[in-house]
Amino acid sequence: MQHALSAKKLNVYYGEKHAVHDVSLDFAEKQVTALIGPSGCGKSTFLRSLNRMNDLIPSCRVTGDIMMKEHNINDRETDVVALRKKIGMVFQRPNPFHKSIYENIAFGPRYHGMKKKADLDNLVEQSLRKAALWDETKDRLHKSAFALSGGQQQRLCIARSVALRPDIILMDEPSSALDPISTSRIEELITELKEEFCIVIVTHNMHQAARISDKTAFFLSGRVVEYDETDKLFLDPSQKETSDYISGRFG
Amino acid sequence: MERSVNMERSYNKRQEAKPHIAEEWVGKIYTLICIAFLVITIFSMVYFVASKGLSTFIVNGVNAFDLLTGLKWNPDIDVPSFGALPFIFGSFSTSILAAIIAAPLGFCAAVFIVELAPKFGRTFLQPVIELLAGIPSVVYGFVGLSVIVPLFRDLFPGQGIGIAAGALVLSVMILPTITTIATDALSELPAGLKEGSYALGATRWQTIYRVVLPTTMPQQMTGIVLGIARAFGEALAVQMVIGNAPHIPHSLFESTSTLTSAITLSMGNTAMGSVQNNVLWSLALILMLMTFVFVFVIRFLEGRKKL
């Protein structure tokens, strides 16, 4: 199977703190990969390295390779702007811009050169449909995004990433700030989106990982303890730490 | 014996309870007196200025419309004319021009402090900018008179005094206000917002220009209006560099006046109760009403912030 993205011996340091140790993971196309583990285990830090969001933190240093096809993302020469078009990201808290629903989605494509109104209209509709938000918002596209509920805002943020037609979407605990109903809508959406995208999702919620992911990686203290098919990892883990964690003995 | 213990206990209870109640009351009454004093002072100021300012029209029979739109200011001749439009024009043009100069500077300074060099900005730059606010206005005026006016005299036709010099001095004076409010607005921005923009492949400048600036616009406007309000009320520094000729100038480098400079310049030379004195109160009334307008605008903008 073709790998959309593979990390090789990735290390992340915050100043003196060694947050991620020698992590090597491959992410398959059109699959959902879940990263689970207790708080502070480095899973979010690892995820944020994949689209170079850690560049924004001055004390942060990332070593190792992240290969997207033949291209090393973690290279100084990499055009971060072009990279982030290819690898979208959805955050823990919905973070729509203080603009209309339409403008929230048109924001990214405009920057990457799409100017024609007809194209943008089309793309906005497409993206909202993909995020299962079109029916709820088609009559109020030009109203503020802040009139939407938390769950709708998060789907808008997903639509916003989808609008750039990325290959990969990174999600950092996308439903942890949402109620159960919104959470299940997001989960349905993720299952639909994987028809088209490679999705890497960090989650605190093991049940969520079990429900939606194809493969799961278990992080502990900055290392990957186990990486396997989700069913295998949850039903028949090979490491003792993994079975302790998923049976709720710690974390 | 037992009874006396009981009595003592209840006595102690009463003793304990009383000071608390008294404390509550003292605090309440004290704050009440303070706020009453404040409210009375403000209302009597407004009443005093309004009664003096309006007596120009009521007692002296000057037409209010003529005062607001008249171009001739000649209070000391036999048939005096009181046209305050040049002053109103001077006040608005200097303070708005000052805001136009200071607003982009203040915003960019805030961006530098918050986004580019947070450590250096917070510990060094911000205190320095706040220091600007503490310099007395006479010093600003003096510097303006000895540096800006000669410079403009050499560079442009005219004597260097006028709206341009006044606006430039004022812009430096209001810079701390605008920068401080802009800095607060930028640092209060939710952390996820900028990340969201970066994650879509926007560059730092695109993020600042398209996300940060529009999102903080209401607060930026509050800072600008506060700056304009301060510039509008500033008298001394402007008076020193503006020339004080009571007419609407044809260029930015021609002598003119503002409401404040007209008041400070003439108030010592008029007799209390005369029309010449009352008309100055009318100018003060205009100033005061404009300040109210600014305050309401700021209130409105603050309300819009909670989107």
Q: Which residues are CB-neighbours of B179 under 8 A, at least 6 positions away?
A: B105, B106, B109, B110, B113, B129, B223
Token reading at B144? 């303006």
A246: exposed, middle or buried (Cβ count in 10 Å: 0-12, 13-18, 19+): buried
Please tell me which residue of chain B has the smallest CA distance to A92: B192
Please tell me which residue of chain B has the smallest CA distance to A82: B201
Own/partner contacts of A152-155, CB < 8 Å, gap of 24 or more, are A152/A182, A153/A94, A153/A96, A154/A90, A154/A94, A154/A178, A154/A182, A154/A186, A155/A131, A155/A185, A155/A186, A155/A189
CB contact under 8 A, B202 and A81: yes
B298: exposed, middle or buried (Cβ count in 10 Å: 0-12, 13-18, 19+): middle
Average pLDDT of the segment spanning A3-10: 90
Look at residue B138 and tell me whether its pLDDT is greater than 90: yes
CB contact under 8 A, A107 and B193: no
Look at residue A142 and tell me whether its pLDDT is greater than 80: yes
pLDDT bucket at B15, cuts 50 / 70 / 90 = low
The sheet carrying A71-72 orders its strands as: A17-28, A3-14, A60-68, A71-72
Report pLDDT for B1. Answer: 47
Average pLDDT of the segment spanning B172-193: 92
Beta carbon pairs, A and B, within 8 Å: 66
CB contact under 8 A, B210 and A107: yes
Report whether B110 contacts B179 (CB < 8 A). yes
User: How would you classify the pairing of strands B81-82 and B73-74?
Assistant: antiparallel
User: How would you classify the pairing of strands A60-68 and A3-14?
Assistant: antiparallel
Into which CATH architecture does domain A3-93+166-246 fall? Answer: 3-Layer(aba) Sandwich (3.40)
Q: Give me the torsion for CA of A187, A192, A194, A195, rounded to 10°.
A: 170
- Domain map (residue ranges) of chain A: 3-93+166-246
CB contact under 8 A, B201 and A160: no
Give A88 to chain B, closest Cα distance, Å: 6
CB contacts, 8 Å: B195 with chain A: 53, 56, 89, 91, 95
Indicate the pTM of the whole model.
Answer: 0.81
Average pLDDT of the segment spanning B112-126: 88
d(CA A230, CA B171): 64
CB contact under 8 A, B193 and A53: no
Tens of pLDDT along B236-245? 999 999 988 8
CB contact under 8 A, A112 and B199: no
Average pLDDT of the segment spanning B170-180: 94
Looking at per-residue confidence, does A78 or B169 come out higher?
B169
Tens of pLDDT along A172-223? 999 988 899 999 989 999 999 999 999 999 998 889 999 999 999 999 999 9
Report pLDDT for A167. Answer: 92
- Domain map (residue ranges) of chain B: 2-59, 74-305
Length of chain B: 307
The answer to whether the Cα torsion of B142, B144, B150, B151 is positive or negative is positive
Average pLDDT of the segment spanning B45-58: 92
Tens of pLDDT along A16-35? 899 999 999 999 999 999 99
CATH class as words, domain B74-305: mainly alpha
